[in-house]
Structure 1
Amino acid sequence: MADPDYPPPKGQPSHTAEAKPASADGTQPAVQAILALEHTLGRFYRLACLVVALAVVSLLVSTGGPVLMVVCASALVAVVLHGAAQGIARLLRLPQWASVLVLVSALGVAITALVRIFGPEIMVQAGHLRSALEVQIRTLRDTLNTDAFGHFVMDHIPQSMGGNQIGTPGHAVGADFTGSMTNVLTSTFGSVGTMIVIVIAGIYFAVSPRLYANGLLRLVPEPHRPLGRKLLLTIAHTLGAWVAGQMLDMTVVGFLTWWGLWAIGMPLALPLGLVAGTANFIPYLGAFLGAAPALLIGLSVGTKQAVMVLGLYAVIQTFEGYVMSPFIQKRAVSMPPALTILSQTIFGAFLGVWGFIFASPITAVLLAVATQLSKPVKPQDEV
């Protein structure tokens, strides 16, 4: 009989202690329960972090949306200046900050020259446009008043807008005009001030981009800094590719518009080409914004001229939309057209005009970041 005070010899099983069941991987049930609990708590923690991050982003968008748009616009200006300044630095062998200053000075001289050359003609054409619009509005009003349905429509349009509806008693028309002009001036000066802030901030970003990028990395916890650096480089590359594609698109559209308007004898062909190219910064909807000034000036010249302008813009935008833009997007940043239009609608609804303008680069950056943070879909999982 074995002595209970002494362990059994080596290799002989013990009959005093019961064997505890173990799982297939050798871990005990209690350890498995603890691991399962840690996994569940980890999932809840990640979900809570995601909810908090979304709440913070929503709060920033709702309260500081305009500030975010200014930062985004400054980043785009910095990308443009930095890319162009790199070419100047290689050509003239100048440091980065000196190349940026040379570029900004050259742009300032070019804008000043355009204003001095075309400013007087723009004022003359604006006067002709105002006279032509007044004549056409008066003719349209007389035509509508001769018809029963047209007269009914004019009766429901206020007199301040050219209709027949009489304003409320005691309400001065001059007050409406004064208030409207005050709002226009306030909005104009506010926009000019915002543009000045965007340009100055963009210049500082372009002079020393690494300084601000490294400052952002210092805000990231040290274990996650490699991922933060990777995301910053992805954002910079995406913005650079998007801006390069849009600049090429804008240049081609502006040149074709200028050449076409000059060929059909339109006044102010060069400024209108610059307007069309600049408006093409906004994909799809920018085409309508760029065509509006040319159509108005065409109407001031004559109906035939306006029809020719409309046909010219239709041909150019068809070429841009079906030939040039797909080629550029294939080599730069590819975004589905439906996603681009939806992003413009969503950002415009939440952030106003600035959100509408910068919806495309923001969406491109979000898509690039999401691609970096997520795994690709396996072929067997694709729809």
Structure 2
Amino acid sequence: MSDTHHIERPGPTELRSSLTQHEARRAAVWFSMAIAIALVALLAQPIMLILGALVLATMMDGGARLLGRVLPIRRGWRLAIVLLGAVAFLTYTFYLTGSSLAEQAQAMRTIVEGQAARIGGWMQQLGVTATPADFKSLAGQAMSSMGRLTAAVGTAVGAVTSLVMMLVLAIFIAVEPKLYERGFAWMLPMERRAYFYTVADKMGWTLRRLMFGRLIGMAVEGVGTWLLLLAGGVPMAGLLGILTGLFAFLPNIGSIISGVLIILVGFSAGSDVGLYAFFVYLVVQIIDGYLIVPMVAKRATDLAPALVLAAQILFGALFGIMGLFLADPIVAMIKVWLEERSKALEARTAPGEG
């Protein structure tokens, strides 16, 4: 009789089995993670372009907000003024001086390679096994990318399709940022939308402060380097000023690259000029590092220099030049998300602790 009352249960080969459903859910989680990692690796470049567009949109939005403090006009007009001002600056900088900058870049490449060969010979006299040819080859590799960049600048600013797409996307986002913010929030559950708006607003505020500080630093370093080098008779002061301003967008790494170029070009004109160029580099970096960054950018982000440098190395290896440029903003956004996440968790546990 006991056999007749035996209750049959689904086996592990049936989907109704609780064990099968549990293992299927676990497998789905791991499978989804693998697909997500594969998609990130496959779509790394488009993801970087979208993040770059967000950073550009933040800069445009910040400029429109600043103009709103002095010009009581509609946001669209303020944004148009910002875009026209940026276009006018780029046109003046690159098109009107593009040919001279390209010539100076070729001359600078020769100077840097020659100085590297001299350093190699001096180190070989001290017993270092490296030969001057090794240093010349290293300098040539380092300058090759700058040569291609200045050549593109001298012709047509290298209107790469990806850059154009990123710029267009940034303009669309900057025109109506709240529209896209609400659209993204619409895809989230109702209880998560307030948290999303808080995090998005804090990220936007942080990126605006970070980019504002970066632009101020680029302007101060570029113009200051140009004027001081020009006053001291250092060759190619205009090109060195532009490169210093552009490299200032990359914290840590950019200042090292521009410093090496300034010092090498300075010593090519003599020891006195080289020492003066080194002094100019120190003065500009001290002003930017101890005056501008603490006043503007560090208050908003307070990112450790070692963390930024590590992120630049990691993102540069994973995503190339775009990752190198976007490492700092990405780390800042991650920091904001972690801080807001921690605050939300503390708010949930606080009543229970009481």
Q: TM-score, with normalisation over the residues of structure 1?
A: 0.66
- 1:246-296 C-alpha deviation (Å, 9 max, x unpaired): 223333323432332122123443443333223122211110233344345
1:289 corresponds, among 240, 257, 263, to 257
Deviation at 1:138, TM superposition (A): 7.3
| Counterpart position of 1:70 | 49
- Separation in structure 2 between the aligned mates of residue 153 and residue 367 of structure 1, nearest angstrom: 42
Instruction: Say whether the 8 Å CA contact 2:259–2:281 is kept in structure 1.
Output: yes
2:303 is aligned to: 335
Match of 1:102 among 75, 81, 85: 81
Q: Does 1:354 align with 2:322?
A: yes
Superposed CA deviations along residues 16-66 of structure 1, whole A, max 9, x for unmatched, are: xxxxxxxxxxxxxxxxxxxxxxxxxxxx9x999997886565344322222
Q: Are 2:60 and 1:81 aligned?
A: yes
1:252 matched residue in structure 2: 220
Q: State which of 205, 220, 226 in structure 1 corresponds to 2:194.
A: 226
Judged with a 3 Å threshold, the aligned counterparts in structure 2 of structure 1 residues 356 and 294 are, in CA distance, closer, same or farther, namely same
Tell me the residue number matched to 1:365: 333
- Letter aligned with residue 58 of structure 2: V
- Cα distance in 1, alignment partners of residues 183 and 80 from structure 2: 23
Say whether the 8 Å CA contact 1:253–1:277 is kept in structure 2: yes
Change (3 A) 1:115 1:320: closer
Select which of 232, 238, 246 maps to 1:278. 246
- 2:165 corresponds to which residue? 197
**Higher radius of gyration, 1 or 2:** 1
Q: 1:115 aligned to 2:94?
A: yes
Does 1:344 find its partner at 2:344? no
TM-score normalised by the chain length of structure 2? 0.71
> Structure 1 residues 318-327 or 245-254, which shifts more?
318-327
RMSD: 4.1
Instruction: Tell me the alpha carbon deviations over residues 184-241 of structure 1, each in whole angstroms, 9 at most, x when there is no partner.
Output: 79xx798833322222221121111112111211221233222222222222122122
Q: Which runs of 5+ in 1 are unaligned?
A: 1-43, 163-179, 379-383
| Change in CA separation of 1:93 and 1:294 when aligned onto 2, cut-off 3 Å | same
Give the counterpart letter for 1:95 in structure 2.
Answer: R
CA distance in 1 between counterparts of 2:94 and 2:208 reads: 29
Deviation at 1:81, TM superposition (A): 1.0
In 2, Cα distance between equivalents of 1:271 and 1:139: 23
Counterpart residue number, 2:176: 208
For residues 99 and 48 of structure 1, do their structure 2 counterparts lie closer, same or farther at Cα, with a shift above 3 Å needed?
A: farther
Count of residues paired in the alignment:
312
1:311 and 2:279 matched: yes
Question: Is the 8 Å Cα contact of residues 242 and 333 (structure 1) preserved in structure 2?
Answer: yes
Unaligned runs of 5+ in 2: 1-22, 139-143, 350-354
Which stretch of structure 1 is more off in the superposition, 266-275 or 351-360?
Answer: 266-275
Q: Superposed, which structure 2 residues align to 1:139-218 within 5 Å?
A: 161=137, 192-218=160-186
